Amino acid sequence: MLSNCAACGKVFMKFSKPVCPDCASKELDTAKRIRDYLKQKEKRNAPLIQVSQDLDIPVRYIEYLIRQKYFDLARYPNLQYQCKNCDTLISSGEYCAACAETLRNHLLSVQKDKTKSDKQNDESHENFYRSRL
């Protein structure tokens, strides 16, 4: 299946990754640079922002690589990124446990509201047709 690379926009044959082979190998290189950097004893616990500055890699890109599971987070517990919704640091997924819970509840109530309003719409449609009969 042809698809646009999520990183550079180039059209490529998509297999499993959302990025083209060029960008995928760039990802591997960057991930390796970060791993090599963290292998240094004194850098092992460096916060993300320092990794970003020292290696000149955008924090967002490092976060993306962490999400793509390029690193063994058991070995590098400092490789964490911010929850999309608050300041809590997390090492998997997009939201912290608390926000994920809130989001789930929110989704559930939205769904409930939706079925309710769908029903109301149906009824008003019915009324509309009935009134024209």
Where on the chain is the footprint of Zn ion (CB under 5 A)? 5, 7-8, 10, 20, 23, 83, 85-86, 88, 96, 99
Please identify, using beta-carbon distances, which residue of 97 and 110 lies nearer to Zn ion.
Answer: 97
What 8-state DSSP symbol labels residue 3? E
Least distance from C-beta 10 to Zn ion, angstroms? 5
Instruction: Report the C-alpha gap between 5 and 99 in whole angstroms.
Output: 30
Please identify, using beta-carbon distances, which residue of 76 and 81 lies nearer to Zn ion.
Answer: 81
Reading phi first (left if > 0) and then psi (alpha if -120 to 50, else beta), residue 9 is in: left
Please identify, using beta-carbon distances, which residue of 19 and 38 lies nearer to Zn ion.
Answer: 19
Least distance from C-beta 106 to Zn ion, angstroms? 13
Least distance from C-beta 14 to Zn ion, angstroms? 11
Please identify, using beta-carbon distances, which residue of 71 and 95 lies nearer to Zn ion.
Answer: 95
Instruction: Report the C-alpha gap between 107 and 40 in whole angstroms.
Output: 44
3-state secondary structure (DSSP) of residue 80: coil
Least distance from C-beta 125 to Zn ion, angstroms? 41
Per the CB < 8 A criterion, the answer to whether 63 and 81 are in contact is yes
